[in-house]
Structure 1
């Protein structure tokens, strides 16, 4: 006689178990177990379908945040998920938007540090010097993270780029496309800008009595591959390798700030959100008590071209909310006076256990 609940068992593997148990002792109990298993699977499938439907109607960036948050919540971070950026760049940043062509220098002050970036030149076909723009935007930041990470991973100041940059671009969620408006062109422009630029950092003591300026040129050499059919008017060269300046490389080895590849990928299209994540990682990495940051200081750090404080505060609150969608355990909150941060372990930033993180 067919058990009345057998028709509820539909999955092929469960039907096989049903037939195997048929006619044996405690058959009815086995049917009950299989029915329960089928119902649990059905519930899980319905939940997955509902989740997929909810994701499908989300705007693209919100969908990306939701997907990465689930990845972070359901997997333990490993060293393979780590990327690195120099702490100084994490704190001081670069221009958010493309500066006008005539603007050849960028200055930024944060606390007792000041960063000066000056646009440079690269030599190309026929030994002609070609001006490069100031590095700016999210792609310049992504490339610095890529180069710093590769230098740390390979334990070598010379990074081969030609065969690996495309993979990095894909890893960050961008299609690899050619042409004048393709992603390769945009990334190459920022790579060239970084390779050619000159950086200086000023550091003041707390009393304002002494100052020290250190010249930092990130790269000592750039090997540029020039194909035979290159257009003489084309200003986009393709570095094959870049070599970090020895002082910069040693400084990077001491002050490499760990960041999560998942989070970087989530905000790969926003320079301001990348800065917020790396800056917050630096701050949380170096505090052992409550830190309060005023709106004035936040505007100096992230304000960019905002003319009205109210507009900046609204944008900052939204950017922080997006970051907390991905990393809900970050102990930070916006107040009337600015931002309040509490000490936290690396796991709130989707980083591996403390022993794997570097102290800046």
Structure 2
């Protein structure tokens, strides 16, 4: 029999156990309404018991999940209970939602990276930074989830402050906590890993290109045109720490016009995976702009999200897993994988916990 409020209710004192309910019942001893209140308080006790059993079952199910799965489950509950708020909004440069950075570190001798999507391309070249001792220090091509998260953080800070100048000293640690990383220093701390990608972003240059078969357009820029560095740590283990960065005027103006909103809770849910972050960014960009259903073939899907995966079958397994993870958090997304590729239907941004279309 299904448990509900219509279930036969207890009507004896032994069925009421919670101290506040017993105290309330005591107030009615010797009064004509005692039997009625006994039944009412018994109903409330039964309801509490059902809720406690349901919570125990949920907690037991959650305990079987991996930490990453628990994070996604928690994010879904948070999003469902408080779907949209400007407090949760973070922003990403839209071009990086279409053509993104590498997923993994490139070999040390590789200084150029290219990613294509349809008729658009992004080329990223690594650069150098001048250390406080006057030496030029080569930086890698930015890569992985941390580079994406940092670019989101810097873009958001610039838009919030209405300035291309961003102070990174304290804001980076605060942002790390927002997305589930407690900052730790030292040689093996995660703060150093985030700063490594911040330095790589500060040193790199990017070229965005597009073509249509008749003509092409290229825009070259250095996203961060100014960076201030200082040494931190023990003299034998000193590392370069960015203090202030400044977006280039071109990049900042494009950011003001075309920034892509993302919910910070979603960033936290997928902060461990560059591929899942890229898929989330791309879905946010495409699905909220569609006027009619779209089918994207497997070939361009693999060009964009298949880095490091040679076999088509393996890629299909990976993208299926990634999409399922995103739909755990946003189950109302109208996206399916079929034999043709990815079938996507238009959705309102509110499905992704973003402000509704006006």
Q: Indicate the residue corresponding to 2:23 in structure 1.
A: 16
Q: Indicate the residue corresponding to 1:219 in structure 2.
A: 224
Q: Indicate the residue corresponding to 2:65 in structure 1.
A: 58
Deviation of the 1:158 alpha carbon: 0.9
Structure 1 residues 33 and 261 mapped into 2: Cα distance closer, same or farther (>3 Å)?
same
Q: Indicate the residue corresponding to 1:143 in structure 2.
A: 150
Deviation of the 1:72 alpha carbon: 1.5
Question: 2:336 & 2:158 partners in 1: Cα distance?
Answer: 35
After superposition, residues 275-286 of structure 1 pair within 5 angstroms as 275-286=278-289
Q: Indicate the residue corresponding to 2:168 in structure 1.
A: 161
After superposition, residues 65-76 of structure 1 pair within 5 angstroms as 65-76=72-83
Choose the corresponding residue for 2:293, options 271, 290, 293. 290
Q: Indicate the residue corresponding to 2:199 in structure 1.
A: 192
Deviation of the 1:32 alpha carbon: 1.0
Structure 1 residues 217 and 63 mapped into 2: Cα distance closer, same or farther (>3 Å)?
same
Structure 1 residues 113 and 164 mapped into 2: Cα distance closer, same or farther (>3 Å)?
same
8 Å contact 2:223–2:248 — kept in the other structure?
A: yes
1:124 aligns with 2:127: no
RMSD (CA atoms): 1.6
1:311 aligns with 2:314: yes
- Count of matched residue positions in the alignment of Structure 1 and Structure 2: 349
Deviation of the 1:74 alpha carbon: 2.1
8 Å contact 2:229–2:242 — kept in the other structure?
A: yes
Which sits farther off after the overlay, 118-127 or 65-74? 65-74
Choose the corresponding residue for 1:254, options 254, 257, 263. 257
Deviation of the 1:175 alpha carbon: 2.9
Structure 1 residues 36 and 228 mapped into 2: Cα distance closer, same or farther (>3 Å)?
closer
Question: 1:223 & 1:338 partners in 2: Cα distance?
Answer: 46
Question: 1:76 & 1:210 partners in 2: Cα distance?
Answer: 43
Choose the corresponding residue for 2:350, options 340, 347, 351. 347
Deviation of the 1:228 alpha carbon: 8.8
Q: Indicate the residue corresponding to 2:159 in structure 1.
A: 152
Which sits farther off after the overlay, 219-228 or 64-73? 219-228
Deviation of the 1:117 alpha carbon: 0.5
Structure 1 residues 271 and 40 mapped into 2: Cα distance closer, same or farther (>3 Å)?
same
Choose the corresponding residue for 2:49, options 37, 42, 45. 42
Deviation of the 1:217 alpha carbon: 1.3
Choose the corresponding residue for 1:238, options 237, 241, 245. 241
Choose the corresponding residue for 1:78, options 73, 77, 85. 85
8 Å contact 1:76–1:352 — kept in the other structure?
A: no
- What is the DSSP-based 3-state SS (H/G/I as helix, E as strand, rest coil) of the residue aligned with 2:327? helix
8 Å contact 2:114–2:122 — kept in the other structure?
A: yes
Unaligned 5+ segments in structure 2 are: 1-9
Normalising by the residue count of structure 1, what TM-score does the alignment of the two structures yield?
Answer: 0.93
Question: 2:234 & 2:88 partners in 1: Cα distance?
Answer: 39
Deviation of the 1:284 alpha carbon: 1.1
Q: Indicate the residue corresponding to 2:327 in structure 1.
A: 324
- What is the DSSP-based 3-state SS (H/G/I as helix, E as strand, rest coil) of the residue aligned with 1:243? strand
Choose the corresponding residue for 1:29, options 15, 36, 59. 36
Deviation of the 1:4 alpha carbon: 5.4
8 Å contact 2:132–2:229 — kept in the other structure?
A: no
Q: Indicate the residue corresponding to 1:114 in structure 2.
A: 121
- What is the DSSP-based 3-state SS (H/G/I as helix, E as strand, rest coil) of the residue aligned with 2:320? helix
Question: 1:281 & 1:243 partners in 2: Cα distance?
Answer: 27
Question: 1:36 & 1:229 partners in 2: Cα distance?
Answer: 65
Q: Indicate the residue corresponding to 2:110 in structure 1.
A: 103
Unaligned 5+ segments in structure 1 are: 356-360
Question: 2:284 & 2:33 partners in 1: Cα distance?
Answer: 58
Choose the corresponding residue for 1:91, options 70, 80, 98. 98
Structure 1 residues 230 and 199 mapped into 2: Cα distance closer, same or farther (>3 Å)?
farther
8 Å contact 2:275–2:305 — kept in the other structure?
A: yes
